[in-house]
Structure 1
Amino acid sequence: MIRLQKASLPLVAYFSLACFGFSAVAAKVDFEKEVAPILEMNCVSCHSGDEPEGDFNLTTKVLSMESGSGEGLVPGNPDDSMIYSLTVVDRTDDMLMPPLRTGGPLSKPEAELLKNWIAEGAEWPEGRTLVAKPKPAGNFVSADDFELIKRIHAKIVAQAEKEAGEPADYAKVIPLTQIEFRMVAVPGGEFMMGSPAGEELRKEDEGPQTKVKVDPFWMGKCEVTWDEYEPFMITQVDRRKDGGRIDYDAEKHTVVDAVSQPTPPYTEMSFGMGQHGYPAISMTQHAANKYCQWLSAQTGHFYRLPTEAEWEYACRAGTDTAYSFGDDPEMLKQYAWFYDNSNEKYQKVGLKKPNPWGLHDMHGNVMEWTADQYVPDYFEKIQGHTNNPFIKPVTLYPRSVRGGGWDDDPDRLRSAARRGSDASWKQQDPQLPKSVWYHTDATQLGFRIVRPVKIPSAEEMYFYWNSARDVY
């Protein structure tokens, strides 16, 4: 008799060698080499800790057997063991483990390995505790590449050739959803960026004040709402963790279909604060960038996040005071939602007075993503580069946000106030690695869009829309 080793045959495919006078004995599934990696890379990140998802803890054999009213793991009975049976339910079933949002379902060979391991008695070394581990990167080719950007760029250039005249405010609908959004024409010009040394509650990263020039652009009249953003976020399409369609076919899908979009959220992302007419929140900068690409691919206009300089220029709207309405924080309640009047939640966009250029909620409600890397010495770095300054991101954290939010004090809402993103904004994210789409712990975080009058190159578009993609 000879014992065929696992390396000789795939998974459980063993056969008779009668023609050689031998018979084969199937090797038992190796827990450490074959089962533990499946569980640690696909299941343990959600099914561990003090509050495991579904009260199903897979970190030890005892906890697995006690979970699910004793049906989490039933040695010898795969079909009665949730650790296997939930991996083979329909891919759209809410009980699927792992769910689509985290890269599920398991491959058929992986599910078969679990089944055979349980059927053999579910051998699990005593004292062995499983720990969540990241999946290795896949080797698929994304359709959301530079070739796609060139196609979108060509569409935008062709659209621009049909349009003429001076920039003016406009309202458009998103073609795929027929949801309206409004843009305000912001004239180019110069301004003193940052806060003066004597401004009350000023911080060191706000100066020294520097004269900056920006080109003309359009800016969203209001922050992007759930009405606009949710159809981009939730699509009922199976996606890889990078947001690419699993079923993408270049011959039958459109340019818009090729744009990466979020995987399903792992919790209700408005956190009960309201949806219709309320600002979308808790997206990563990458998600906001991709929304801009998705919108651009549909409309034939180039949209992106504002630079810090553009954002402050638009916020000030020609003023040089702490706020766009003056220096008195007592007036904030007329223009902003913040700690004193927000009732501990965001509010519908556009309810407060606009700034002098007609932009609502530049102060408060939700803080807003910009395109820049956050650096504390911003004003030193832009010396000599004050025409359309932009600090190109090179690391994921911190990225710059502006405007302050519904839970902030007045000093955070000043026109010059700056803040950087932080990894703690993903603290409650159960996935490993963390999602590229959601900042579950940043419920004050949203964004608004801009459209520069000057159309950038395809290479520049690629950078704006993908600056956070490759650094997660």
Structure 2
Amino acid sequence: MSAISATSRAEVTAQKSPPPVKVAAAEATAPEEMKPYTEQLTGTKVTFDMVPIPGGEFVMGSPEDEADRRKDEGPQHRVKVDPFWMGKHEVTWDEYDNWSFRLDIQRRKLEKLEPTDRDRLADAVTRPTAPYTDMTFDMGHDSYPAISMTQLAAKMYCEWLSEKTGRYYRLPTEAEWEYACRAGTTTAWSFGDDPEQLDEYAWHYGNSGEKYQRVGLKKPNPWGLYDMHGNVAEWVLDQYVADFYGTMPQDKAAVFPLAVPKTLYPRVVRGGSWDDEADRLRSAARRG
């Protein structure tokens, strides 16, 4: 990952069996039924918000005349995206620690609570070895985005979250991430083409004080998602393939394009980070 700070931003669809934890508006049988909802991790006070993303088509990648464009951002191509939910904020340490440090299991033992069927399923998900150092690097913990995990760890966290709640959480594909980031826009950033406005929407090298920041302090994009530009870069499902866009059809929209991982590295992160210049925070910017 080099110097990138990476986090997962969970995407979810409904799962029928075993029965999910009851949460209002967390399931839908039709796109028009999709509504925002708040998930609470059972046995904790930790919650996170999910935002419905409407389905549709968009043009992925950057035009050849976009400032600071890189070759791997083209050629542009149309992509069809189904509706899904996406995390309103980057996944925080408050959420992630329950899995990585087994806080949910420890809490049950301290309070002498019997695990539920969902707890038992979640407990079976592989968890990481305890780190040898403070992975926040003294940059902040409560309400700060979780960083420094591998893509595999981010995927395993989503698997644990799925078992814990009964809803299918996963990392978004690269196409889904860009679609959600753009939020219907075609400009370099979701707020337009003027980098002078970046401070209102993102933490980047010029304003971050050389550290990541608490989630949700800047303005959201048009679909209500925070920190899609900057703060910490975000894992997606795809393998990084520099010329992947060249394999997309030009006469019709691609459906669920995914560069299926075939080697251990590299994998894609999106969004740029607190340590990046403005051009790396553009909606189309890729890094692997």
Q: TM-score range by the shorter chain?
A: 0.7 to 0.9
* SS of residue in 2 equivalent to 1:302: strand
Deviation of 1:304 (Å): 0.2
* Aligned residue runs from structure 1 range 160-239, under 5 A: 166-235=33-102
Which stretch shifts more, 162-171 or 256-265? 162-171
**Structure 2, gaps ≥5 residues long:** 1-14, 105-116
Q: Which structure ranks higher in relative contact order (CA pairs < 8 Å, sequence separation ≥ 6)?
A: 2
Taking a change above 3 Å as real, the CA distance of residues 204 and 179 of structure 1, as seen in their structure-2 partners, is same
Taking a change above 3 Å as real, the CA distance of residues 203 and 365 of structure 1, as seen in their structure-2 partners, is same
Look up the match of 2:138: 272
Provide the rounded CA distance (Å) in 2 between the counterparts of 1:357 and 1:155.
31
* SS of residue in 1 equivalent to 2:189: coil
Q: 1:33-75 deviations in whole A, cap 9, x for unaligned?
A: xxxxxxxxxxxxxxxxxxxxxxxxxxxxxxxxxxxxxxxxxxx
- Assess if the C-alpha contact under 8 Å between 1:176 and 1:298 holds in 2: no
Taking a change above 3 Å as real, the CA distance of residues 395 and 330 of structure 1, as seen in their structure-2 partners, is same
Q: Would you say how many aligned residue pairs link Structure 1 and Structure 2?
A: 256
* Aligned residue runs from structure 1 range 41-80, under 5 A: none
Runs (4+) of structure 1 moved beyond 3 Å? 156-165
Deviation of 1:163 (Å): 5.9
* SS of residue in 2 equivalent to 1:270: coil
Look up the match of 1:21: none
Look up the match of 1:405: 273
Deviation of 1:313 (Å): 0.2
Provide the rounded CA distance (Å) in 1 between the counterparts of 2:19 and 2:254.
27
Taking a change above 3 Å as real, the CA distance of residues 163 and 361 of structure 1, as seen in their structure-2 partners, is closer
Q: 1:126-155 deviations in whole A, cap 9, x for unaligned?
A: xxxxxxxxxxxxxxxxxxxxxxxxxx8732
- TM norm structure 2: 0.84
Provide the rounded CA distance (Å) in 2 between the counterparts of 1:215 and 1:348.
30
- Cα RMSD (Å): 2.4
* Aligned residue runs from structure 1 range 312-391, under 5 A: 312-383=178-249, 386-391=254-259
Answer with 1 or 2: which has the greater Rg.
Answer: 1
Provide the rounded CA distance (Å) in 1 between the counterparts of 2:128 and 2:21.
29
One-letter code aligned to 1:390: L
Percent sequence identity is 60
**Structure 1, gaps ≥5 residues long:** 1-151, 238-250, 421-472
- TM norm structure 1: 0.52
* Aligned residue runs from structure 1 range 290-329, under 5 A: 290-329=156-195
Structure with the higher fraction of residues in helix conformation:
1
Match of 1:155 among 18, 25, 28: 18
Structure with the higher fraction of residues in strand conformation:
2
- Assess if the C-alpha contact under 8 Å between 1:156 and 1:302 holds in 2: no
* Aligned residue runs from structure 1 range 447-466, under 5 A: none
Match of 1:282 among 116, 134, 148: 148
Deviation of 1:389 (Å): 1.0
- Assess if the C-alpha contact under 8 Å between 2:80 and 2:253 holds in 1: no
- Assess if the C-alpha contact under 8 Å between 2:21 and 2:165 holds in 1: no
